[in-house]
Structure 1
Amino acid sequence: MEKSELQKDKIIKVAQSMFSEQGYDATTTREISRKADISDGSLYYYFPDGKREILDTIVQRGIESRTLIIDDWFSDIKTVEELEAQIIGLYEQICSIFEDEDGYRSFMITIRERPLLSDAQSDWLIKILDNIQIKLGKKFHTLLPLLKINEDDLVNATGAIVAIFQKSLYDELILKNKEMISNEIKKKTEAEISLLIKLLTK
């Protein structure tokens, strides 16, 4: 990595930490510069639009890294058991996003600074979950002969699975202000997924 990229990464990491701990409005570019051990001029050299450009970069990098994790998760399946295993594996993968300190901080910045962000920036989690529901629908469709539901029920069935994911994430990370999904909640959520799949299976 070039020196300029290393310096930009350093600024981003410092700003990400400060934004997540004390908020965007309470953080000044001067504080970021001091903590990153650079001059104010250097900060504006790397980020000409200052603090706002740094925030946009943090959010955009977070969106890109999380989307990559999720996009290619599903592989070919032939049985309901394989589908269930892939859904649970995907849930664990989503949870792992928040076990990474950068992932958690980026998520909290997105939640706390939502009024400052565009819809595309602030709705990344919804878009990921919508994408998961679409992919789940395709997998469920291939297994319809093994399921109790018909094609018209696919949206509701996949929506129920995504709602289980969503409740777990929002309850723990936002309502309870936890920094990661606990093993207890993971087991409970995975049991709910298994039960729903069992109820849908012939």
Structure 2
Amino acid sequence: MEKSELQKDKILKVAQSMFSEQGFEATTTREISREAGISDGSLYYYFPDGKREILDTIVHQGIESRTVVIDDWFSEVKTVDDLKKQIVDLYERICRIFEDENSYRSFMITIRERPLLSDSQTDWLIEVLSNIQDKLIKELSAIDNQLNVDVKDFKYATGIIISIIQKSLYDELILKNNKVISKEVKELTESEIELMIQLISKKDLSRN
């Protein structure tokens, strides 16, 4: 990485920490410069639009990193057990995203500073969840003969699964302000996912 990129990365990390701890409005460019060990002029050299450009960059990088981690989880399923395993693996993958400090901070900044962000920046979660639901519907379609639910109801079934995952993240990260999803919450959420899969599966298959 070139020196200029290293310097930009340092500024972003300092700003990310400050925005996360004290908020965007309460953080000044002078504070960021001082903490990064550079002059105010240097900060504006790397980020001409100042603090707002830094915020946009942090949010954009966070969205990209989270989306990449989630997007490559899907693979073809052939049985109900395959379906169950893939959804639980997906949930574990999402939980691991927030175990990384940078990912956690970026996510919380995106949530807390929502009024300052564009629709495209704040709608990333909706888009990601929509993509996940589309993939889940495709999975259900691949084993529809093993399920006790009509194709026309796949959207509702997958919506419930998404809601189970979403509630876990919302309760832990936002309401309780925890930095990681606890083992107990993971186990409870995975049990709820497995129960949902059992309910939509044909009875003779759900006993296996």
What corresponds to 2:107 in structure 1? Answer: 107
One-letter amino acid of the structure 2 residue matched with residue 88 of structure 1? V
Partner secondary structure for residue 179 of structure 1 = coil
In the TM superposition, residue 71 of structure 1 has moved relative to its aligned partner by: 0.9
In the TM superposition, residue 70 of structure 1 has moved relative to its aligned partner by: 0.8
In the TM superposition, residue 148 of structure 1 has moved relative to its aligned partner by: 0.2
In the TM superposition, residue 131 of structure 1 has moved relative to its aligned partner by: 0.9
In the TM superposition, residue 176 of structure 1 has moved relative to its aligned partner by: 1.0
What corresponds to 1:176 in structure 2? Answer: 176
One-letter amino acid of the structure 2 residue matched with residue 16 of structure 1? Q
Structure 1 stretches of 5 or more lacking a match? none
Question: Number of matched residues?
Answer: 202
One-letter amino acid of the structure 1 residue matched with residue 149 of structure 2? I
Structure 2 stretches of 5 or more lacking a match? 203-208
What corresponds to 1:88 in structure 2? Answer: 88
Mean Cα displacement is larger for which, 158-167 or 68-77?
A: 68-77
> TM-score if structure 1 supplies the norm length?
0.99
**Runs of 4+ in structure 1 over 2 Å off:** none
CA RMSD after TM alignment: 0.7
What corresponds to 1:149 in structure 2? Answer: 149
Give the Cα separation in 2 of the matches to 1:140 and 1:47: 47
Percent pairwise identity = 70
In the TM superposition, residue 10 of structure 1 has moved relative to its aligned partner by: 0.3
Give the Cα separation in 1 of the matches to 2:120 and 2:158: 23
One-letter amino acid of the structure 1 residue matched with residue 32 of structure 2? I
Partner secondary structure for residue 77 of structure 1 = coil
What corresponds to 1:73 in structure 2? Answer: 73
What corresponds to 1:199 in structure 2? Answer: 199
What per-residue deviation string (whole Å, max 9, x for no partner) do you get for residues 152-180 of structure 1?
11000100000000100001111111111
In the TM superposition, residue 53 of structure 1 has moved relative to its aligned partner by: 0.2
Partner secondary structure for residue 52 of structure 2 = helix
> TM-score if structure 2 supplies the norm length?
0.96
**2:37 is the counterpart of 1:13:** no
